[in-house]
Chain A
Amino acid sequence: MLNFRCPNCEITADETDLHCDGQAHIERFGAGASDDDLETYLFMRHNPKGVHFERWRHVFGCGKWFNAARCTVTLEVFGTYSAQSLVPPKSLINKIKKKRPEWEGFVK
């Protein structure tokens, strides 16, 4: 069972109280953008075997979005943070690096 601590209401909820909405920190492009940028925004996704940054929503709880760092191979949750962050917090990145020295770091 996947458990996340929602940073908005600070409750630990399991995946059935939550909804995942895929990769976090996607750069958005609109009308007038190049085909490449639009394609990347709409369809291209990081799909790593390992550390993944993603958006979750506490649907059955406080209803708010948050971001999480999770390992797609072990399902370990490294941490959660505000959905309003443009990049993951430094402290979280350091924590993951300590646990996964081979990890190449956060890429947008």
Chain B
Amino acid sequence: MFSVTGLNGASSNGSINVKDAGLIGMITLRGDLKSDAIAKVIKVVTGTNIPDQRQCVFTSKGATAWMSPDELLVMVDYESVDATIAKMEKSLQGVHSLIVNVSDARAVFELTGSSIRDVISKGSPADMSSKILPVGEVRRTRIAQLAVAFWFTSDTTARLVCFRSVAGYVMDWLENASEKGSEVGFH
């Protein structure tokens, strides 16, 4: 099978660098995040603990992001999604849970630069200060009229996820908001 991302490798280089993060395996897991069974399965597939509220945690194997009190986003290699899901379903047999492959339903952006917070602020109501949104914390909110989630992986790098069907629009939006000469210098 041949897969492409919704962004098909798009990138732009304005006040920040915006680029297609490529194919990423993404699995939504819903269930009781306090249960041992779920903690165990997360440890096995990504190597992480269950993240605290709103956190995104990583290991070399994968990442786990807290999306809501009963929802995690499990990120692994794109190629290993089917195997991972099979593993999860097997070990969660009998445990109330929901596991869905959303890899191709999302688009992921890699943002790099020192003014990412300013750029996103141009179209999101989220408080982008580093005190409210420190590195490693996930924010689910909107950009323009669209649902997005993002988190900083370092002071100058962040990931942003949106629905695949609006990937082109979000790309245009980010490119526009980071156009050179439009820097705000607030954050």
Interface residues of A (CB under 8 A from B): 8-14, 16-17, 59-64
Contact = CB atoms under 8 A, between A and B. Distances in A.
Interface of B is mostly: strand
A61 B53 contact: no
Contacts of B127: 12
A11 B139 CA distance: 9
A62 B142 contact: no
Given A60-B147, A62-B140, A64-B68, A17 B53 contact: no
B146 to A, nearest CB: 9
A9 B140 CA distance: 10
A14 B69 contact: no
B125 A8 contact: no
B141 A13 contact: yes
B159 interface: no
Contact of A14 (B68, B125, B147): B125
A61 B140 contact: yes
B67 interface: yes
A12 B141 CA distance: 11
A108 B69 CA distance: 28
Nearest to A59: B147
Interface in B59-101: 67-69, 71
Given A60-B140, A62-B68, A62-B69, A9 B53 contact: yes
A16 B141 CA distance: 9
Contacts of B71: 62-63
B141 A63 contact: no
5 A-B pairs with least C-beta separation: A62-B68, A60-B142, A14-B125, A61-B140, A16-B125
Contacts of B140: 9, 60-63
A9 B141 contact: no
Contacts of B125: 13-14, 16-17
Given A9-B53, A12-B127, A17-B125, A61 B141 contact: yes
28 contacts: A8-B69, A9-B53, A9-B69, A9-B140, A10-B53, A11-B139, A12-B127, A13-B126, A13-B141, A14-B125, A16-B125, A16-B142, A17-B125, A17-B126, A17-B141, A17-B142, A60-B141, A60-B142, A60-B147, A62-B67, A62-B68, A62-B69, A62-B140, A63-B68, A63-B71, A63-B140, A64-B68, A64-B69
